[in-house]
Amino acid sequence: MPIQLTSQAYCKMLLHAAKYPHCAVNGLLVAEKTKEKKKDGHSGPVLCVDCVPLFHGTLALAPMLEVALTLIDTWCKENNYTIVGYYQANEQTQDSRPNQVAQKVAARISENFSEAVIVMVDSSRLTMSCFEPIVFIYDHLENKWKNREVTTDAFEDWNEAQKITSALLVGRSYENLIDFDNHLDDLRNDWTNPAINKSVLDLC
Amino acid sequence: MASLSEMYDVGWEEMRDKLRKWREDNCRNSEQIVDVGEELISEHASKLGDDIWIIYEQVMIAALDCSRDDLALTCLQELRKQFPDSHRVKRLTGMRLEALERYDDANKHYDAILQEDPTNTAVRKRKISILRAQGKSTEAIRELNEYLEQFVGDQEAWHELSELYINEHDYGKAAFCLEELMMTNPHNHLYCEQYAEVKYTQGGMENLELARKYFAQALRLNNRNMRALFGLYMSASHIAASPKVSAKVKKDNIKYAAWAAAQINRAYKLAGRGNKDNKCSIKAVEEMLESMQITMS
């Protein structure tokens, strides 16, 4: 089942990785809830319209992750979204495979959305120009997480995503990106990132 | 391009003070340090007095973080000129090699320093950092353990070890490291709170109760620690929801969770004041707390 990333989802993932280059980072991917699942199964690709950056540094502790999942789940219900995936950029840039944390969170997401995906960001290829997509998309098939080939089809509009992400990286917008960790440090920090969302819209 | 001081209307003293604050807080905001430090060094070097040497060191390390080898080399050369035989400066040379990923050269360089000065803890820790950078967690853990047998009071090292253990999902050993830190720093709410998170992650009723106690302790030490507050709420809720606890334990934990929930709501309302956009967060929190109440009863 194909997923597609919007420019907003893609650029916020990369901004998160760029803000903390020395840390592992992770977050959730959300899509709009579709009304019915067509019987023939060809309901089109799931469009990840947004992502919520979660943590940076130590990803392997449970309590704040549970809080984040529950809170974001509630937020999703308000906005008619579903959590459909999880993204992670590893601390080791040479290694972009989903580790135990990624698999555990994705399994949890799969309880509510059977075709949850893991998106791994390949930080080793992160550049200002963003000339190529630097994500790996993993699907859960036959009890294993399998890497799927990523082409520009994985994006709603690759050219737009590339242009916007590059512009925001050059403009150092990642300094203003808020993740859930930042929110826990100061509740006034808004993890929905309205300012960045607006910048994305302005650049569209 | 306008200079920082023009853009933000700050004088060189403020820039110098900012750098000092970042040094003291051990912040890793390398891009900012490079921006401020580079300008300070190039425009105001003469005014800085002896501060300039520590600023060179700080800016050099930040420059390595930002792949600004040109700037790093400039700072390093100034430091080498001023302190030709210093091991502290030699360590910086090693760090530059690390930044260039010339790990073998860096290790040789560090070994040479250790030959002359086997007690140089900073250099020993760099060698362990190289192992971590190369992804050799097992070796890093082993070396760090050996280091801590000799230098038992090195808090930075205990914390690094706890992180390494957490990344390897060895929560028991991570907890041990945090216990060491809590013993020597009984007033540090962050260690308490991290310990509680590790215990919670380990799971099981005993660990959950311990987690709740340490979240509560962290709150006593700092009543604005949101992680501790959420942690208290989550652990008390889970205990209360468990079918294995006695009625009294259930009742007590419902009370703790309810208290925590009220505090969380209050904290969000305070934060949301004057900020219309945050209403969504407040609502989300209220609903989350309500939904968990249902699972408890």
What are the pLDDT digits (tens) for B206-219?
999 999 999 999 99
CA angle B272-A56-B92, nearest 5°?
Answer: 125
pLDDT band for position B4 (50/70/90)? confident
Work out the mean pLDDT of chain B and round it to a whole number: 91
> Would an 8 Å CB–CB cutoff place B149 in contact with chain A?
no
- Residue B243's contacts (CB-CB under 8 Å, 6 or more residues apart) are none
Q: Do B288 and A70 touch (CB under 8 A)?
A: yes
Chain A residues bordering chain B (beta-carbon distance below 8 Å): 21-22, 57-58, 60-64, 66-67, 70-75, 77-78, 91-92, 94-95, 100, 172, 175, 184-188, 190, 192, 194
**Backbone phi and psi for residue A88, each to the nearest 5 degrees, phi listed first:** -155, 145
The SS3 assignment for A83 reads: strand
A19-51, pLDDT tens digit by residue? 999 999 999 999 998 765 554 555 678 899 999
For residue A24, which of A80, A84, A135, A102 has the smallest C-alpha distance? A102
Per-residue pLDDT tens digits for B238-249:
999 998 899 999
Does B104 touch chain A if contact means CB atoms closer than 8 Å?
no
Rg of chain A (C-alpha set) = 16
Mean pLDDT within A147-159: 89
pLDDT beyond 90 at B24: yes
Q: Kindly state the percentage of chain B with pLDDT values over 70.
A: 93
3-class DSSP state for residue A112? coil
Contact A80, A49 (CB under 8 A): no
Residue B276 has pLDDT above 80, yes or no: no
Domain boundaries, given as residue ranges, for chain A = 3-32+44-202
B6 touches chain A (CB under 8 A): no
DSSP category for residue A87:
E
pLDDT band with cut points at 50, 70 and 90 for residue B1: low
The token pair at B87 is: 């091991």
Nearest beta carbon to residue A74 from set B211, B270, B287: B287
Q: Bin A137: left if φ > 0, else alpha if -120 < ψ < 50, else beta.
A: beta
B197/A64 Cβ within 8 A: yes
Cβ <8 Å between B280 and A75? yes
How far, in Å, CA of B11 to CA of B5, rounded?
A: 6
Confidence at residue B290, expressed as pLDDT on a 0 to 100 scale: 72
Q: How far apart are CA A131 and CA A162, in angstroms?
A: 7
User: What are A70-80's pLDDT values in tens digits?
Assistant: 899 989 988 99
| Cβ–Cβ under 8 Å, residues A35 and A96 | no
Render pLDDT for A80-127 as a digit per residue (tens, 0 to 9).
999 999 999 999 988 889 999 999 999 999 999 988 999 999 999 999
Q: Which of B152, B195, B148 is nearest to B171 (CA)?
A: B195
- Residue B290 tokens read as 């309500």
Contacts of A48 (CB under 8 A, 6+ apart): A3, A4, A5, A6, A9, A29, A30, A31, A84, A85
Phi, psi of A56 (to 5 degrees): -135, 145
Judged against a pLDDT cut of 90, whether residue B97 lies above it is answered with yes
pLDDT on residue B279: 58
The whole-angstrom separation of Cα A125 and Cα B2 is 31
Grade residue B285 by pLDDT with cuts at 50, 70 and 90: confident
**pLDDT of res. A37:** 53
pLDDT at A200: 92
What confidence score (pLDDT) does residue B46 get? 87
Higher pLDDT pick, B283 / B183 = B183
Query: pLDDT per residue over B116-153, tens digit each?
Result: 999 999 999 999 999 999 999 999 999 999 999 999 99
> What pLDDT, on the 0 to 100 scale, is given for residue A204?
83
Res. B253: pLDDT tops 70: yes
DSSP per residue, chain B: ---HHHHHT--HHHHHHHHHHHHHTT---HHHHHHHHHHHHHHHGGGSTTHHHHHHHHHHHHHHHTT-HHHHHHHHHHHHHHSTT-HHHHHHHHHHHHHTT-HHHHHHHHHHHHHH-TT-HHHHHHHHHHHHHTT-HHHHHHHHHHHHHH-TT-HHHHHHHHHHHHHTT-HHHHHHHHHHHHHH-TT-HHHHHHHHHHHHHH-SHHHHHHHHHHHHHHHHH-TT-HHHHHHHHHHHHHHHH-TTS-HHHHHHHHHHHHHHHHHHHHHHHHHHTT-GGGHHHHHHHHHHHHHHHHHH-
Amino acid B12 reads W
Rg for chain B (alpha carbons), in Å? Answer: 24
Q: Each residue of B161-193: b (16+ CB within 10 Å) or e? A: bbbbbbbeeebebbbbbbebbbeeeeebbbbbb
Q: For the domain made up of A3-32+44-202, give the CATH fold.
A: Cytidine Deaminase; domain 2 (3.40.140)
Residues in chain B: 297
What residue ranges in A78-183 does DSSP mark as E strands? Answer: 81-89, 117-121, 135-141, 144-148
Contact of B297 with B247, CB cutoff 8 Å: no
Whether A71 and B200 lie within 8 Å, measured CB to CB: no
CB B105 within 8 A of CB B127: no
Q: Does B243 touch chain A (CB under 8 A)?
A: no
Q: Which residues of B touch A57 (CB under 8 A)?
A: 163
Residue with tokens 């007033």: B187
**Where does the pLDDT of residue B48 fall: very low under 50, low under 70, confident under 90, or very high at 90 and above?**
confident
Which of A15, A187, A198 to probe the B interface (max B CBs under 10 A)?
A187
Please report the pLDDT score of residue B278 as a whole number: 55
Helix axes B137-150, B155-167, angle to 10 degrees: 150
Cβ contacts of A22 on chain B, cutoff 8 Å: 28, 65
Nearest to A137 by CA among A14, A4, A21, A27: A4
Provide the CA B218 distance to its chain's centre, in angstroms. 17
Return d(Cα B235, Cα B233) in angstroms, integer.
Answer: 6
Residue A1 has pLDDT above 60, yes or no: no
The span from the CA of B240 to the CA of B253, in Å, is 5
Q: Which two tokens stand for residue B258?
A: 């309810």
Q: What is the mean pLDDT of residues A60-67?
A: 94
Across residues A51-57, what is the average pLDDT?
96
Look-up of token digits 């501060």: B51
